[in-house]
Amino acid sequence: MEKAQARSRLDLAREVLQTEADAILALSRRLNGDFLRAVEAILACTGRIVVTGMGKSGHVGRKIAATLASTGSPAFFVHPAEAAHGDLGMITAQDVVIALSNSGESGEVVALLPALKRKGLVLIAMTGNPASSLGREADILLDTQVEKEACPLGLAPTTSTTVQMALGDALAVTLLDARQFGPEDFALSHPGGSLGRRLLVHVKDLMHSGEELPRVTPGTALKDALLEMSHKRLGMVAIASADNVICGIYTDGDLRRTLEHSGNIYDLNIDQVMSPAPQTILHSKLATEAVHLMEQRRITSLLVVDADGKLAGAIHMHDLLKAGVV
């Protein structure tokens, strides 16, 4: 009995997904010049894109506004009931309004139509009923009608909201392409995300410099270089002249090799044991490039140079991990 019930539930779930998939495919086949007119109207907009809708259409509208805003088309959501009580003042004649209503007769949305029309703005309707009040008043009509809801009762907005969401994504992505909105632009809208960290964080933002940088001059006794390395806790010390010309680097790994092959390390100076011509990275490079270089060279730290090739700092893999770049 339980197995039969489980199969029945899986069949219903698959039927829901198939119904919604079929509706999206049907929508794609009937996209026409109205969609292109909507794109052109938004591209020509000198104000903002205002999205509104009631109930489930309102929830979808919030998502559409968020997607538009994060992909280069400034947008925000206005609740139609709140708009009727003062928030309509947020909307200007320079804006484009996208109104969502499957029936096209949502009372709160329809009540806004006279005021929106008086403002002289462009009204784009996303409705499943072109003959509705919203459909008739719209400057541009995007038809989102569906054959049936996926809900077995035919009551809960399911297929209709999925189609609205998909059409909103199609609109946002088409606008993204038209605006030539690239990864760097996307990162600026998402500075807290992993993409933002990868594309906005540079080596100079994370490097240790000044008093934080472990460094000694050529000829320094090894024991003094080790004290500097231990004090700054980067597992390395840079060897550079007074005018910041890099001479070498000495790391924890170099110390282990020194102990294996030398009798008394207190008799050595840093010039005798350092690694000359170390790997460096320009301070203006992306932090992700430092990660790639460290992985390629199988090292955990890099000396950082300025535009003149002079020592500017040092960066460790731990810095990159802490910043979330890796």
| Binding site residue list | 79
Q: How many CB atoms lie within 10 A of CB 75?
A: 24
Q: Distance between CA atoms of 267 and 264, rounded to whole angstroms?
A: 6
Q: Are 98 and 124 in contact (CB under 8 A)?
A: yes
Other Cβ atoms less than 10 A from the Cβ of 60: the count is 25
CB crowding 205-220: b at 16 or more within 10 Å, else e: ebbbeeeebbbbeeeb
Provide the annotated binding site for Zn(2+): 79
Could you tell me the sign of the dihedral formed by the alpha carbons of 98, 103, 108, 112, in that order?
positive
Q: What is the DSSP string of 242-297?
A: TT--EEEEEEHHHHHHHHHH-S-GGG-BHHHHSEES--EEETTSBHHHHHHHHHHH
* Pair of tokens at residue 96: 């484009």
